[in-house]
Amino acid sequence: MATVEERAESGGRRVSEQLLKTFFREMLLIRRFEEKVEERFRAGELPGFLHVAIGQEAVATGVCAALERDDVIASTHRAHGHAIAKGTSVERIMAELYGKLEGCSHGYGGSMHLYDVEVGNLGANAVVAGGIPGIVGAALAFLMRGEPRVAVAFFGDGATNTGTFHESLNLAQLWKVPAIFVLENNGWAESTPATQQLPLPVDELARRALAYGMKTIEADGQDVEAVYLAALAAREHAAAGKGPVLLHLRTYRLTGHYVGDPQVYRDRAELKGERETKDPVELLRARLQLTDEGLAAIDAQVTAEVEASVEFAKAGTDPSPEDAAKYVYA
């Protein structure tokens, strides 16, 4: 089969130490935010249910760093990292999880429906693959109006089994819209491993885009630099009018599917091994050769930011019951 995969390194670019440190800070912020969310959920303070993306921080940070402010994203049920990386403050996300009016969706959305249109977050989606077609449409609007913007859909390996995904990729390629499809491949759909949901090897999932003649770019989803460079290349391609790109990032879900998931289906030793060798925050820390003090200083900052977000959220305003009917129609 003709290979159209392109390794990120082929761009021949390098990422400055300074930028990598910025990435590190953001990834650690996402990590600490989600750990706090788990803690507050277990304490019974957060309604509903939650999915964290611990282990997948490099995807959110690397992809969103490659985007322009005007570019838009659609996120998934595992949304916190995407939202933070696209520019929503942790305060407003935390307030959303507490169901407050100050939240980024004003208490209407919750964890799986984080919106922030001002920074280009068109919304997280609780329906698997639900956001993908809308990204094709957003990209179509950019194309029709000649705007130099791209539209980006995040989704998981499980989502590639939906008709929604396949129809969207076909249409996007047919019309050559400036879209990037970010396949965040953690090898699991809830409790279902790749072997029970994919008839092809998990690492070769990008092949699905080949059926549509779509350009694919792949990178190690645990390596933020690789993700960033790959996303830059994808953006360049899409924005240049050359058509959409499937950006395949192999990553690892280092926690349960949802907060509280006992993961009865998961091999403990394997998970332990992944935690030890695949943690993107640890990998970047090693790469940057951060000293304990250096790490502690950054950690203290982001931890304080997260703590402040909880205070902000708790001090927020509860919607009144009748507000429920406020936004049913425009």
Partner 1 sequence: MPELTYREAVRDALARALREDESVFLMGEDIAEMGGSMAVTQGLLAEFGPKRIRNTPISEIAIVGSGIGAAIQGMRPVVEIMYEDFLTLSMEQLVNQAAKHRTMSGGQVTVPLTIRTQGGAGWSPGAQHAQQLEAWFVHVPGLKVVFASTPEDARGLLWSSIYDDNPVVFFEHRTLYPLKGDVPDRLEPIPLGKARVHREGEDVTVVATGRLVHEALKAAEEAGTEGISVEVVDPRTLQPLDEETIVASVRKTTRCVTAHEAVVRGGFGAELAAVIQHGAFDWLDAPIERVGAKFAPLPFAPAMEQWVVPHAEDVLEAIRRTVARG
158 binds ligand TPP (CB under 6 A): yes
Considering only 25, 108, 236, 301, the residue that binds partner 1 (CB under 8 A) is 108
Residue 280 binds partner 1 (CB under 8 A): no
Sole residue written with tokens 């000293």: 291
Among 26, 57, 96, 157, binds ligand TPP (CB under 6 A): 157
d(CA 135, CA 141): 10
CA distances from 266 to 51, 108, 155 (A): 17, 34, 22
User: Minimum distance from CB of 88 to partner 1 (Å)?
Assistant: 16
Select from 45, 49, 133, 137 the one that contacts partner 1 (CB under 8 A): 49
Does the footprint of ligand TPP cover residue 189 (CB under 6 A)?
yes
The CB-of-161 to ligand TPP minimum distance in angstroms stands at 8
**184-223 positions binding Mg ion, by CB under 5 A:** 186, 188
Strand partners, 7: 218
Name the residue nearer to Mg ion (CB basis): 106 or 250.
Answer: 250
Q: Is 127 in the site for ligand TPP (CB under 6 A)?
A: yes
Among 25, 113, 275, 287, binds partner 1 (CB under 8 A): 113
Among 196, 213, 311, 315, binds partner 1 (CB under 8 A): 196
* Closest listed residue to residue 45, CA positions, set 310, 272, 296: 310
Assess contact for 61 and 26: CB atoms under 8 A. yes
Taking CB atoms within 8 Å and a gap of at least 24, the contacts of 284-288 are 284/20, 284/23, 284/24, 284/27, 284/58, 284/224, 285/24, 287/20, 287/225, 288/17, 288/20, 288/21, 288/24
Q: Which does 320 bind (CB under 5 to 8 A by kind): Mg ion, ligand TPP, partner 1, none?
A: partner 1
| Residue 170 touches partner 1, criterion: CB under 8 A | no
Segment near partner 1 (CB under 8 A); pick from 52-60, 78-86, 157-165, 275-283: 157-165
- The residues that bridge with 111 in the sheet, in sequence order, are none
CB 113 within 8 A of CB 82: no
**Closest distance to partner 1 from the beta carbon of 162 (Å):** 6
- Enumerate residues 6+ apart whose C-beta is below 8 A from 201: 194
How far is it, in rounded angstroms, from Cα 95 to Cα 100? 5
Burial of 269 (0-12, 13-18, 19+ CB in 10 A): exposed
DSSP codes of every residue in 51-113: ---TT-HHHHHHHHHTS-TT-EEEE-SS-HHHHHHHT--HHHHHHHHTT-TTSTTTTSS-GGG
321 binding partner 1? (CB under 8 A): yes
User: Judged by CB, which is closer to partner 1: 79, or 224?
Assistant: 79
Site membership for Mg ion, residue 274 (CB under 5 A): no
Q: Which is nearer to Mg ion, 59 or 238 (CB)?
A: 59
Which pair of structure tokens corresponds to residue 87? 């520019």
Could you tell me which stretch among 51-59, 67-75, 165-173, 183-191 binds Mg ion (CB under 5 A)?
183-191
C-alpha 296/C-alpha 288 separation (Å) is 14
Binding mask 224-263 for partner 1 (x = CB under 8 A): ----------------------------------------
* d(C-alpha 246, C-alpha 153), whole Å: 10
What residues line the site for partner 1 (CB under 8 A)?
47-49, 96, 99-100, 105, 107-113, 125-130, 158-159, 161-164, 189-192, 196-198, 264-265, 318-325, 328
What residues line the site for Mg ion (CB under 5 A)?
156-158, 186, 188
What residues line the site for ligand TPP (CB under 6 A)?
77-78, 126-128, 155-159, 186, 188-190, 253, 257
